[in-house]
Amino acid sequence: MTHIIKATFVAIFSFLFSLNTFADGHEQPSFIPLEGFACNYSPGKDMDDLLQVTKTWNDYMDDGGSKYSAWLFTPYFYSEDEAADVFWIGVSPTWEELAKGEQHMSAPKGQKINAQFNKIVPCYDHTNWGYESVRSSSGSSDDDEGVVTIMWCTLAEGVTYEDVLAADEKFNAYEDSTGSATGVGRWWPGSGIPSRFTADFLWAQGVDSMQSWGQSVDRAVNGGGNQATLAIYGELMSCDNRAVYKVKSVRQ
C-alpha cells in the first residue's frame, strides 16, 4: 500500500464511536486505548507535508501488522488557549495492540520516520486515554473527513458511574427520537495528562461533515437539544471549554 488509506468517514466513526459500553451484557465498562499527540507545524510546513510523511508511515505500519487507526484533528472553532496546530489521535482495540505499534516505531526504521515527523510537526504532549462509547454514529459520507466537538466535563460531588450510565440511556433515547446520527464518547484520562487538564473526562461528539455539524447545532440551539441534554445530565456534571475540530482520517 503506497497511499493514505481512504474510507468513508462513517466507517471510521463506526470504529471510534460505536464500541459497546458493556461487555457480554454485564455492567463492566469496556474501554479502548486512545493516544494523542499535541503538535505545532515547523516554520514553512503544513498539512500537505505531514500527509507526505504519513504515506511512508502507513507502509511501515502495514509491515508491523499492528491494529491501529489514526486521525488528524485540526482546531476550527477555538480560543486563544488552544496551543496546538494539529492533534494526532490514534486508537487500537487493546493496550497490548497499541504497545505493539509503539514497539514497532521504536525500531531503527521507525525512529527514522519519527524523525521525519518531528521535522514537520514537533509535539509537546503525548497522552493516553481510555475511550468509552456512549452512542454510535450512523452518519454517512463519501469522504474521509468529519467534525468532532470536544468539551471538558466534571462530575458533581457524589455522582456514581451508575448514575452516568442511567443518564446515557435517557440521552440515547432522546437522540433516537430526533433521528440524530451523531456519535458520542467519553475520553477518560490516563497517562501523560498535563496538569492544565482539570476535568474528569472529555465529552466528544462526532459527525461526518461540516453540514452535519451545523444541523446538530441547529437541533441543540433552536430545537430544544440543549434543554434536553441539561435535563438529563445537568445535575450530574458540568461541561465547558467547548472546541470544534475538523478531522481527517490517515489510517483505518
Domain ranges of the chain: 9-251
CATH number for the region 9-251 comes to 3.30.70.100
Q: Is the dihedral angle over the CA atoms 226, 184, 39, 145 positive or is it negative?
A: negative
Q: Name residues whose C-beta falls within 8 Å of residue 43's C-beta, 6 or more positions apart in sequence.
A: none
Query: Would the pTM count as exceeding 0.85?
Result: yes
Q: What proportion of the chain, given as a percentage, has pLDDT over 90?
A: 81
**Distance in angstroms (rounded) separating the CA atoms of residues 151 and 18:** 19
Residue 188 has pLDDT above 70, yes or no: yes
Give mean pLDDT, residues 23-30: 48
Among the residue ranges 14-23, 46-55, 197-206, the one predicted with the least confidence is 14-23
Give mean pLDDT, residues 50-60: 97
Residue 8 has pLDDT above 80, yes or no: no
Question: CB count, 10 Å around CB of 103?
Answer: 12
Residue 44 has pLDDT above 90, yes or no: yes
CA 244 to chain centre: 11
User: What Å distances lie between residue 180 and 145, 167, 174, CA to CA?
Assistant: 19, 17, 9
